Chain A
Amino acid sequence: MILESLLVSAPDWAIDHAPVLIPVVPLIMAAMLALSPSGRLSWILSMVATAASFYFALLTLGTVQSTPGGIIEYWIGNWDVIGIEFRVDALNAMILLLVTGMGFLASIFAWTTIAAEVQKQKISLFLSAFLLCFAGLCGVTATGDAFNLFVFLEISSLSTYALVAMGASRDRRALTSAFDYLIMGTLGASFYIIGVGFLYAATGTLNMNELATQLPALSGNRSVQVGFAFIIVGLGLKAAMWPLHQWLPNAYAYSPSFVTMFLAATATKVALYAMIRWLFTIFNPDFAFEQAIFTFILAPLGIAAMVICSFQAVFQTDVRRMLAYSSVAQVGYIILGISIATTAGVAAGLLHLFNHALMKGALFMAIAGICINYKGTTIRDFAGLGRSAPFTMAAFAIAGLSLIGVPLTAGFISKLQLGYALFDHGWWWAVLLVVFSSFLAVLYVGRILQSIFFMPPANPRKTRKEAPLMLLVPLWILALANIYFGIDANFPAGLARDGAIAALGLEAFP
C-alpha cells in the first residue's frame, strides 16, 4: 500500500534506474566525503546517501512485486549478456530493503557515537569508508554477475577492515582483530573467486542467469563440482558459518560500536544471501552432490553453530563478545533452515535473517548508546544501568527477549516457522535442538538482563544518563519493529516466502 503510493509518485527515471542507483549513490557520495572538510557535513551527506538508497530499494521492491514474473533486469552499459547485469527478484529485493534500511538507521545515530569514539579529523574518512562498505553490500545484493559480486564483496570487505581497525583508539586489540578479519576475509574472497574461475572455465559465462541455464547439463563435470565447493567455503567464511567464524567475535567486540551495529545487522546477512543465491538459483538443489552437501555438511554445521556458539556465549564476560557468539549461533539457525532445501525451510531461514538483523541491530545500537556515557562493556559494567538509562535498556531488553524467541516478539515467529519447516521435513530431533539452543539463549540474555535490572549500580553516584535522542529514535524504531513483527508478521513473512519462492526458481508473482 505504501509501496504503491511510492511507485505512483516516483519519477520514471527513478523507477528505471533504481537497481543501479542503490549502490551508485553511496559510492559517489563516499568519494565526496573523502574530500569533505567537516565531520558534521559528512554525517549529513551520509544520511542523505543512505536515505536515497533506502528510497530506491523501496521502489525496487515495489517494482518487483508488481512485475509479472517478479524479475527486474538492468544491463549496465547496455552490453546485454556479455556485460554486467543487475538482476533483482523477490529474494534480493528483500535483502536490499533490509541492508539499506539498517544502513539508514545506522547513519542516523552515527554522529553521536562516532563523535565519542573516533578522532575528529578522521570522521569524514570514517564515514566515507562506511558508505563504501554500504555501497559494496548493496552491490553484492543487487548484482546478477558472479564476478561483479566478488568485486562488490571486496569493496565492502576492504572498507570493513579499515572500519574495524578504527576501534584501536579505544582498545588496541582492534588492530589484531582487524588483521585476523583481513586474512580470513581475503581467504574467503579468494576461495570464492577460484570457484567462479572453475565455473567460468566450464561454462564460459559469468552471468548468474546464464550459469543457471548451462549448469544442469554440466552437473557431472568435476570442475563444476570443485567450483561449487570453493564458492560455498568462501561464502561460508564471509557469512561466519561455523567453524569458519573465528574472525567474528573479535571483530565485533573491538570495532567502534557503530561499526559493530552496522556489520551485525548487514554484513553476514549479505554473505548468506549470496550463499542462498548460489545454492538454489545458480546451482540446483536437485544435483546429487548438492543434496549430499545439504544433509551432511550444512545441516550439521548449522546445528553445531547454534548449540556450541550458544554455549560459548553463556560463558562470555563481555557483552559484545557474548552477542557476537550469539550472532554465529543465529547464522546456524539460518543455515539449518536453508539446509532443508524446501520453500518453507528457506523462507524460515530468510525470515530469521530479517528478524535477526532487527534484533542484533537494536542490541548493538543500545550498547553503542551505553558506550557514549559509560566506559566498559563487560557484564559487570552493565550493572544497574536499568535505573540510570531506562529507555535505552528497555529497548535492549525487548530486543534481547526477541533474541531468545519469547512469544509476541519477532524472534518467536521465525523460530516457530523454522520449527514447522523442520517438522514437515521429518527432522523432529532438530526441533528439539532449536529449543535447547533457545534455552541457552535464555541463559546468556538472562545474565545480561539480570545485571542490568536487578543489580545495584557498580558506581552508585552514576547519575541518570540516557543515550542521546538521535540514538534513541532509531533504537526504538528497531525495538518496536521487533514487537510489531512479532504480532503481525505478514510483511516480513510475505517477503521471506516470496524470496524463497524466487530463490528456488518458481514463479513468484504469476
Chain B
Amino acid sequence: MKGDHHMILRVIAKCLIPLIVIYAFYVQFHGEVGAGGAFQAGVVLAVALILNALVFGLTATMRAVPPWFTRSLSAVGVMVYAGVGVWAMLKGGHYLEYQALFGEGPGGHDGQHAGIIIIEVGVLFAVSGALTTIFYALAGRVAEIRDEDW
C-alpha cells in the first residue's frame, strides 16, 4: 500500500492480536491453579478487539464482531453463571453448590472442577462482551452538535 504511514503499526498489530487472544485463554484456564482468572482474561480478550479497532478502524471491527454479538455475549455470560447455580439447585443442592452438580459424595471433585470452569467461562463472556460493548458505545458515538456550534 503506497503512502500508508501505518504499515509498521498494522503489521505488528496483525502479529500481536492472535497472541493476545491466545494469552487471554491462557490466563482464563490458568486461573484455576495460579494467578489469573476470567476477569483478567475477559479484559485481555476485549483488548485484542479494541487494538484491532484502533489500528484497522471501527467499521472493520464492527463488521467482524458486530455490536449485537458483544451485547448478547455479556447477557449469555450472566445466564451461564446463574445457570450453574440453578443447575445445582435442580440437583438438590444449594444455589451455586458445585459439589451437587453431579450428585457426588464428599470425596468427589468433578463437580467442583466443572462448576468453577463453567462459571469462569460465563465471566469471560460477560466481561469481554461488556467491555467491547462499552468501547463500541463510546467510539461509535456521533456528536449531536458539532464542536464549532458550542
* Interfacial residues, chain A to chain B (CB-CB below 8 A): 13, 17, 20, 24, 27-28, 30-32, 34-35, 74-78, 128
B38 CB → nearest A CB, Å: 16
**Of the candidates B78, B99, B100, which one forms a contact with A28 in the assembled complex, judged by CB atoms under 8 Å apart?**
B78
**How many of chain B's residues touch chain A, expressed as a range?**
20 to 34
Residues on A with C-beta less than 8 A from B82 are 24, 27-28, 31
Asked whether A77 lies within 8 Å of B75 as measured between CB atoms, the reply is no
**Of the candidates B74, B93, B95, which one forms a contact with A24 in the assembled complex, judged by CB atoms under 8 Å apart?**
B95
Residues on B with C-beta less than 8 A from A77 are 88, 94-98
Residues on B with C-beta less than 8 A from A128 are 75
CA distance A485 to B86 in the complex (A): 38
Asked if A76 meets B79 with Cβ closer than 8 Å, knowing A24-B86, A35-B72, the reply is no
B103 CB → nearest A CB, Å: 14
Q: Is B83 an interface residue (CB 8 A)?
A: yes
B122 CB → nearest A CB, Å: 10
Give 27 CB contacts A-B under 8 Å: A13-B89, A17-B95, A20-B95, A24-B85, A24-B86, A24-B95, A27-B78, A28-B79, A28-B83, A31-B78, A31-B82, A34-B71, A34-B72, A34-B74, A35-B76, A74-B94, A75-B94, A76-B94, A76-B95, A76-B96, A76-B97, A77-B95, A78-B93, A78-B97, A78-B99, A78-B100, A128-B75
Q: Give B99-117 as 1s and 0s: 1 = Cβ < 8 Å from A's Cβ atoms.
A: 1100000000000000000
Asked whether B75 lies within 8 Å of A32 as measured between CB atoms, the reply is yes
Most buried by B among A13, A28, A75: A28
* Interfacial residues, chain B to chain A (CB-CB below 8 A): 71-72, 74-76, 78-79, 82-83, 85-86, 88-89, 93-100
Residues on A with C-beta less than 8 A from B86 are 24, 28
CA distance A27 to B86 in the complex (A): 12
A32 CB → nearest B CB, Å: 7
Most buried by A among B89, B95, B98: B95
8 shortest A-B CB distances, which residue pairs?
A: A34-B75, A31-B78, A77-B96, A31-B75, A20-B95, A78-B97, A31-B79, A78-B94
**Of the candidates B79, B88, B95, which one forms a contact with A32 in the assembled complex, judged by CB atoms under 8 Å apart?**
B79
A432 CB → nearest B CB, Å: 50
Asked whether A17 lies within 8 Å of B97 as measured between CB atoms, the reply is no
CA distance A75 to B99 in the complex (A): 13
**Of the candidates A17, A27, A30, A75, which one forms a contact with B89 in the assembled complex, judged by CB atoms under 8 Å apart?**
A17
Residues on A with C-beta less than 8 A from B76 are 31, 35
Most buried by A among B79, B85, B94, B96: B94
Residue of A nearest to B88 (CB): A77
Residue of B nearest to A84 (CB): B96
Q: Beyond A20-B94, A34-B71, A128-B75: 9 further Cβ-contacts under 8 Å?
A: A13-B89, A24-B82, A24-B85, A31-B79, A32-B79, A34-B74, A35-B72, A77-B96, A77-B98
Residues on A with C-beta less than 8 A from B96 are 76-77
B96 CB → nearest A CB, Å: 4
A139 CB → nearest B CB, Å: 12
A60 CB → nearest B CB, Å: 14
B92 CB → nearest A CB, Å: 9
B35 CB → nearest A CB, Å: 21
Residues on A with C-beta less than 8 A from B99 are 78
CA distance A74 to B95 in the complex (A): 9
Residue of A nearest to B72 (CB): A35
Residues on A with C-beta less than 8 A from B100 are 78
CA distance A348 to B98 in the complex (A): 43
Residues on B with C-beta less than 8 A from A75 are 94
B54 CB → nearest A CB, Å: 26
B95 CB → nearest A CB, Å: 5
B147 CB → nearest A CB, Å: 18
B73 CB → nearest A CB, Å: 10
Residue of B nearest to A36 (CB): B75
